[in-house]
Amino acid sequence: MSLYLENVIEATNRKNSNEPEFLQAVEEVLATIKPVVDAHPEYEKIALLERMIEPERIVSFRVPWVNDEGKVVVNRGYRVQFSSLIGPYKGGLRFHPSVNQSIMKFLGFEQIFKNALTGLPIGGAKGGSDFDPKGKSDNEIMRFCQSFMTELYRHIGQDVDVPAGDIGVGSREIGYLFGQYKRIKNAYEGGVLTGKDVCYGGSLARTEATGYGLIFFMREMLKAHGNSLEGKTVTISGSGNVAIYACQKAFAYGAKVVAMSDSNGCVYDENGIDLELIKQIKEVERGRISEYLKTHPHAQYIERTDEDSPVWKIKTDIALPCATQNELTLNSAKALVENGVIAVGEGANMPCTIEATNYLLEHGVLVAPAKAANAGGVATSAIEMSQNSMRFYYTFEEVEEKLDRIMVNIFNACKEASDTYGCCGNYVAGANIAAFRKLAKAMKAQGVV
């Protein structure tokens, strides 16, 4: 490793020692872009890596709101505006009790690279709160969202920073956030948030986009290795937005999804998951996945007892982690390899630990890395922004076709980079290198900012 890279890694570890998820995300990128950095000694003088690793701005704020019992609750809100290098800050909002600055920074850092891969003009950001939406009434969700936006509005704008959904933030929350923004600004600025309902400026197919995009990327990756989704067994972690639409598209390509999960455990249905039932439980009733067995008693429910999710112990050809970071551990990777997995597609952000990814790659498993494989969501957000600017709607088919083309381009970019830099078939390295090359070029072009 070059001395420059070594020094940057050492300084990053020292400065961010209390932020393990952020350090993990940075380490994964720096470990793979070495050949590009080595070929560009001028990067050191202009502190290119240091500037890419340091967020442009972090905003953290108090979010007070009143619960249904009349008690005031205080949560912490964040927006990490990581990079505006290639477009307005862009990235989702996460509402989950685990949210902290480290998680916000890792997600914002990943987003810069992911957004660069889409080929669209969007910078990188992430935000959210440690608010737990579970068990909250609709009115509580609304009051929380209104309070959150009452601070956030001053930091965002359709040409400045464009938030969207992530864990715990879907169409309902985006609606409440948008309503409050519009009220404060006294203006309809459609492009300030994406993931809006189609009835007031959202894009058709945005809801489906991340899951569909993941399967399009998987299709391309398998094709490049003489394989396909047809007839394959698939297991998916999570049962939220990404998991549900990945499941739907996997079935459409002739695969059979046999397992899905939530944070408490997983359901295994050897007949194939009944997706309509999952949607009813998760999207309508906001319940637990274990309720699947009430109407499908032949299925099995396996409770989660430790950090290794039971879903990865089930035999499968293709595994799609679509829940959260570090949900696929080294133990899980070993279990998957032992059961003959051929491909892992990251729908969630950084779902595999570094040890798990390395183990999978060393054992010949194809890995579709998150930055590339789940980029369909944010790419379709950018398509939503462009429709808002045009004051026009594309049809579902038009958006899906654009998304498909974008995912094909992303796969090709990852493949080209991995072939060029001598890590053929390693799309984790390919995605990082392809994104980094573009970002580095833009950073050099724009001077020291």
Interacting residues toward ligand 2IT by CB under 6 A: 90-92, 111, 114, 164, 166, 194, 349, 377-378, 381
* CB nearer ligand NDP, residue 22 or residue 43: 22
Q: Which of 180, 239, 331, 432 binds ligand NDP (CB under 6 A)?
A: 239
Q: Does residue 235 touch ligand NDP according to CB under 6 A?
A: no
Shortest CB 294 distance to ligand 2IT, Å: 31
Judge whether 279 counts as a catalytic residue.
Answer: no
Distance of closest approach, residue 92 Cβ to ligand 2IT, in angstroms: 3
**Would you count residue 168 as binding ligand NDP (CB under 6 A)?**
yes
Catalytic residue selected from 90, 114, 126, 371: 126
Pick between residue 88 and residue 347 the one whose CB is nearest to ligand NDP: 347
For ligand 2IT, give the closer residue by CB, 12 or 111.
111
Q: Which of 210, 332, 357, 388 binds ligand NDP (CB under 6 A)?
A: 210
Interaction residues for ligand NDP, span 317-346 (CB under 6 A): 322-324, 327
171: contact with ligand NDP by CB under 6 A: no
Residue 348 as a binder of ligand NDP (CB under 6 A): the answer is yes
CB of 209 to ligand 2IT, least distance (A): 8
Q: How far is the CB of 196 from ligand 2IT (least distance, A)?
A: 11
Tell whether residue 91 is a contact of ligand NDP (CB under 6 A). no
Could you say which of ligand 2IT, ligand NDP, none residue 194 binds, taking C-beta under 5 to 8 angstroms by partner kind? ligand 2IT
322 contact, one of ligand NDP, ligand 2IT, none, CB 5-8 Å limit per kind: ligand NDP
**Shortest distance (Å) from residue 361 CB to ligand 2IT:** 23
Three-class HEC string of the chain = CCHHHHHHHHHHHHHCCCCHHHHHHHHHHHHHCHHHHHCCCHHHHCCHHHHHHCCCEEEEEEEEEECCCCCEEEEEEEEEEEECCCCCEEEEEEECCCCCHHHHHHHHHHHHHHHHHCCCCCCEEEEEECCCCCCCCHHHHHHHHHHHHHHHHHHCECCCEEEECECCECHHHHHHHHHHHHHHHCCCCHHHCCCCCHHHCCCCCHHHHHHHHHHHHHHHHHHHCCCCCCCCEEEEECCCHHHHHHHHHHHHCCCEEEEEECCCEEEECCCCCCHHHHHHHHHHCCCCHHHHHHHCCCCEEEECCCCCCHHHHCCCCEEEECCCCCCECHHHHHHHHHCCCCEEECCCCCCECHHHHHHHHHCCCEEECHHHHCCHHHHHHHHHHHHHHHCCCCCHHHHHHHHHHHHHHHHHHHHHHHHHCCCCCCHHHHHHHHHHHHHHHHHHHCCCC
Rounded least distance, CB 169 to ligand 2IT, Å? 8
Residues of this chain that bind ligand NDP (CB under 6 A) = 96, 165-168, 210, 238-243, 262-264, 322-324, 327, 347-349, 374, 377
Q: Which residues are catalytic?
A: 126
